[in-house]
Amino acid sequence: MKLVRYGPRGRERPGLIDADGVLRDLSMYVRDFDGASLAPARLAALRRLAPQDLPAVRGRPRLGVPVAGVGKIVAIGLNYRAHAAGGHTLPEEPILFLKATSSLCGPHDPVRLPQGATQGDWEVELAMVIGQRAARVSAERALDFVAGYSVANDVSERSYQFDRGPTWDKGKSCDTFCPLGPWLATRDEVPDPQALDLWLTFDGETMQRSNTADMLFSCAEIVAFVSRFMTLHPGDVILTGTPPGSGFLQTPPRFLRHGARMRLGISGLGEHRSRVVAGTAR
């Protein structure tokens, strides 16, 4: 299933995208797509519904973050071999950092750079959404705890990330710095998360193009690793890293600016279209 939340910010309704690309309303069967609704039994019940019997949604409403009440966003750094090899030592274990949940926004919402930002950057990433409580799980069973997959943009302000202390979080957590969506593809829609093409364009120019096969640590290995250090709860989001092509690694570096447009996607998981708005107050 391709599960979405649609409507104005703060008033999103649950829906799904059927096989013909039609948005269908699910609010008669589920209140919202929060952590509790992502349990395997709840998803199985939704899967038994006939999409053609659900009300079609008119128009083209805004798509929001496809899961509500996210408890935490865990991100992985330097997880593509080609990216990490470009001037970095390959890490021996996944590099973890956190993004604030207040950075979440819909896949087509404006990306708002904070006042004074000078080095805004992009990173297309495969996102995993947890469906069951996971603590110290094995890599062999790890994907059983994943409800589904989505597309994320790990937007960054590099001057905050690299020039203002040793931690990355401040450069990763500004408002709108984690567009997520357009839908949550349940695990049955993605038989192999290590065989997905991903790409990003900046003002129409391709900047990133790769495949998740190039990940240094697989999705299963990431879930297992993170669960050693913190319990993962239903609705938690894990960003799995980005391939080469970020703006700060260009020659010369290229950064986000007011009016710029990003388009990014992953095969089978849809795409984002974001406009950049610069210098806005929080």
Other CB atoms within 10 A of residue 125 CB: 27
Which residue positions in the chain have pLDDT lower than 70? Answer: 83-88, 163, 165, 280-282
Residue pLDDT, tens place only, 19-50: 999 999 999 999 999 999 999 999 999 999 99
Q: How many residues in the chain?
A: 282
Q: What DSSP character marks residue 75? A: E
Domains in the chain with CATH codes:
67-280 (3.90.850.10)
Decide: 46 and 79 in contact? Cβ < 8 Å.
Answer: no
Predicted pLDDT of residue 188: 96
The single-letter code of the amino acid at 58 is R
Question: How high is the pLDDT of residue 106?
Answer: 98
223-241: b or e for each residue (b if 16 or more CB lie within 10 Å)?
Answer: bbbbbeeeebbbbbbbbbb
Look up residue 70 and give its two tokens: 């996210």
Token pair listed for 48: 């038994």
* pTM (two decimals): 0.96
Could you give the CA distance from residue 62 to residue 110 in angstroms, rounded to a whole number? Answer: 12
Q: Can you give the pLDDT at residue 85?
A: 59
Composition of the chain by helix, strand, coil, percent to 5: 20, 35, 45
Cα distance between residue 257 and residue 279, in whole Å: 9
